[in-house]
Structure formats: C-alpha cells, structure tokens
C-alpha cells in the first residue's frame, strides 16, 4: 500500500500535486504538510499536518510512525528569495534533502521525489537546447543548492540504492496559487495584472527568453516519472524537461490578442542577472526516450487558460 507525504504542499506546485496524487491514490493515502499552520483551502479534501522540514527529529518521527512509503519534498527557497537570504536558503534547500535521503537509506522510505531546476545551469552553459550533460556552473545560491542536491541524489542512488527521482523544472505557470519568489514568476504575475488593469511592469527585459511549462504538464511529468519502472530511470541526478520557451515580449503579443488594450513596461531588476545566466531552451530527449515524456501545452494554450482562470482579486 502506497502512503504518500508531500512536504511543502502549500506552495505553487504542492497544492496541485496533492490534488492529482489524491485523485490517483485516494484522499486518505496522501498527507499534505507545510510549515504553514493552516491547511490551504485548495487541499482541505484530505489530511494536513503542520511540519517544518528543518525540525529533523519531528520529521523522522512523523515519517517512521506513519509508515509513509513515498515522499515528495518541495520545501525550498526559490531563486529570487534565496539571493536575499543565501545562508538560510542553503540551509533549507540542503538539510531537508539529507533528512529524507537518510530515511530512505535506512529503509524507512521506498521512493523520493525531489525537484531540481533549470537554475542548475549557469552563464557558461550553452543557452539553446541545453543538453542533459553539459557545463554546469550555476551563479546563484539557489542554483548551487540544486546542483549540489542533484549530486547527492545520484550519490545516494549509486551508493545506497535509494530510489530518488528528479526533474529540472523550467518556470511553472499556474492559476490556483501564486508563485513563491522565483525569477520566472513574471510569467504568472502578468496574467493577474493583465486581467485587473490591462498593464504590467515587467522585472525582466523584453527579449529575455526562458524555458517555461504549464503546471498540468509538470504535475503529469512528475507522476509519470514516479510511476515509471525503476529500470527505465537511467538518470538519478535530474532529468531535463521542456515545455515551451518565450520572451516577455512574445507573451505580451499573445495577451494582446485577447486584451487589445494591454500594455507592458520594462524595469529590469536584480532578477535580470539571474535570468541571463539560465538557458533559453532545453533539450529533454532523455526524458522522452527513458520514460516517454511529451508536453501538451504550448504558449497559445497557456495564455488561453490563464486569462480565463486567473482570479485577479487575489492580488
């Protein structure tokens, strides 16, 4: 019997992942947890527990006493927030991973999902169709933590047989909860502003191309990777994954098709440097070959769905 714990379940990915996991494995089999005291409204259909991943003893006791089989570890500081608090970002992003990897090493967990990011790449990485295996010299604390995490995941698999799986997510776009402090957040914020006041001041420049993905694709990829047979998973660091790539200016053109009065202005800030260090597009042929990945949402579909569904009262 599968018993799943999602840590960091109150965030942009976690809230949607919990719902999909509950659809698939049953409401009572998927426990959501987060450092937030209140269960976010979107996931009140099943069990919720307030859990701080940095409280190692409590996390260990909770996982062991409840006989969880699978953990999805999502708690982290994202790129922009991490640059403002590098010491804490390193602590949060790394310590929690070791707590969970060690539980699996000791035989208390069967499977772990831990997300990586396109932030593992850096300014010296080839920018177009960035390969799975290439130069990786991340220049942000977030990227350094994700790259180190990938190395440790692969190490725990090789050395101790820990079944840990990971994806280098691109920027994720969704409307159910607001994003949590990343460099790609502009591609979510823009829809709220477009709907609310038909204008948006973008913190990246007009021609900053970045890899992006619609959340439904990302959640499907995550569950497909976790459900794939063990032998199919050839990469134990993290898989490159691609949805679509676009610039703020290309995104604006598509929004204008729906809201002709929409106007964008540009005031690049510290996040521009982060974005400039990341790939423009990703080669995800390993994910396609190993476990059959294929995206469903292109830029046009994303814009249609987002404009129809964002609730601009939230901002």
Alpha helices in 175-247 (DSSP H): 186-197, 215-227
- Which residue, 182 or 248, is less far from ligand NAD as judged by CB? 182
Residue 180 in contact with ligand NAD, rule: CB under 6 A: yes
Q: Would you tell me the crossing angle of helices 186-197 and 248-258 to the nearest 10 degrees? A: 30
Residue 117 in contact with ligand AKB, rule: CB under 6 A: yes
Out of 48, 72, 142, 186, pick the active-site residue. 142
Residue 35 in contact with ligand NAD, rule: CB under 6 A: yes
Residue 52 in contact with ligand NAD, rule: CB under 6 A: yes
**Closest CB to ligand NAD belongs to which residue?**
11
Distance CA 191, CA 193 (A): 5
Stretch of 58-66, 84-92, 104-112, 116-124 lying at the interface with ligand AKB (CB under 6 A):
116-124
Residue 125 in contact with ligand AKB, rule: CB under 6 A: no
Q: How many residues bind ligand NAD (CB under 6 A)?
A: 28
Enumerate residues 141-160 that contact ligand AKB by CB under 6 A.
142
Q: Write b or e for each residue in 252-263: b if 16 or more Cβ atoms lie within 10 A of its Cβ, otherwise e.
A: bebbeeeeeebe
Enumerate residues 76-105 that contact ligand AKB by CB under 6 A.
78-79
Do residues 34 and 10 make contact, with C-beta atoms less than 8 angstroms apart? Answer: yes
Grouping H, G, I as helix, E, B as strand and the rest as coil, residue 133 is: coil
Structure tokens at 263: 């106007």
Structure tokens at 81: 């927030």
Work out which of 119, 202, 223, 299 binds ligand AKB, going by CB under 6 A.
119
Q: How far is the CB of 249 from ligand AKB (least distance, A)?
A: 19
What is the strand order of the sheet 30-34 is part of? 48-50, 30-34, 4-7, 70-73, 111-113, 164-165
The helix (run of H) or strand (run of E) holding residue 78 is: none
Stretch of 72-80, 225-233, 241-249, 268-276 lying at the interface with ligand NAD (CB under 6 A):
72-80
79 binds, among ligand AKB, ligand NAD, none (CB under 5 to 8 A by kind): ligand AKB
Distance CA 18, CA 37 (A): 17
Distance CA 218, CA 224 (A): 10
Residue 301 in contact with ligand NAD, rule: CB under 6 A: no
14 binds, among ligand AKB, ligand NAD, none (CB under 5 to 8 A by kind): ligand NAD
Distance CA 121, CA 278 (A): 6
**Catalytic residue list contains 142:** yes
Q: How far is the CB of 115 from ligand AKB (least distance, A)?
A: 8
Work out which of 130, 177, 183, 277 binds ligand AKB, going by CB under 6 A.
183
Stretch of 62-70, 90-98, 111-119, 221-229 lying at the interface with ligand AKB (CB under 6 A):
111-119
Residue 211 in contact with ligand NAD, rule: CB under 6 A: no
> Tokens 């932030």 correspond to what residue?
119
Alpha helices in the chain (DSSP H): 12-25, 56-65, 79-84, 86-105, 141-160, 186-197, 215-227, 248-258, 271-276, 285-291, 299-309
Catalytically active residues are: 142
* Interaction site with ligand AKB (CB under 6 A): 78-79, 117-119, 142, 171, 182-184
């Amino acid at each position: 019997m599968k018993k799943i714990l999602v840590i960091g379940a109150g965030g942009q990915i976690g809230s949607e992942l919990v719902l999909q996991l509950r659809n698939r494995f049953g409401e009572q089999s998927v426990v959501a947890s987060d450092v937030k005291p209140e269960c976010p409204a979107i996931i009140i259909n099943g069990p919720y527990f307030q859990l701080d991943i940095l409280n190692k003893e409590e996390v260990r006791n909770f996982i062991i006493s409840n006989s969880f089989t699978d953990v999805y570890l999502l708690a982290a500081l994202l790129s922009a927030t991490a640059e403002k608090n590098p010491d804490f970002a390193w602590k949060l992003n790394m310590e929690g991973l070791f707590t969970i990897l060690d539980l699996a090493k000791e035989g208390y967990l069967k499977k772990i999902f831990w997300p990586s990011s396109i932030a593992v790449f850096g300014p010296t990485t080839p920018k177009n169709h960035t390969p799975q295996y290439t130069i990786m010299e991340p220049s942000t604390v977030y990227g350094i933590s994700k790259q180190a995490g990938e190395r440790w995941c692969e190490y725990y698999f090789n050395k101790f047989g820990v079944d840990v799986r990971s994806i280098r997510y691109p920027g994720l776009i969704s409307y159910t909860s607001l994003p949590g402090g990343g460099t790609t957040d502009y591609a979510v914020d823009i829809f709220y502003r477009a709907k609310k006041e038909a204008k948006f001041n973008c913190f990246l420049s007009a021609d900053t191309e970045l890899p992006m993905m619609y959340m439904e694709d990302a959640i499907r990829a995550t569950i497909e990777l976790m459900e794939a047979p063990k032998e199919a998973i050839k990469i134990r660091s993290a898989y490159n994954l691609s949805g679509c790539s676009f610039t703020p200016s290309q995104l604006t053109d598509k929004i204008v098709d729906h809201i002709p009065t929409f106007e964008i202005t540009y005031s690049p800030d510290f996040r521009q440097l982060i974005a400039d260090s990341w790939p423009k597009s990703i080669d995800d042929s390993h994910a396609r070959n190993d476990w059959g990945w294929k995206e469903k949402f292109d830029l046009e579909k994303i814009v249609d769905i987002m404009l129809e569904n964002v609730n601009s009262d939230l901002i």
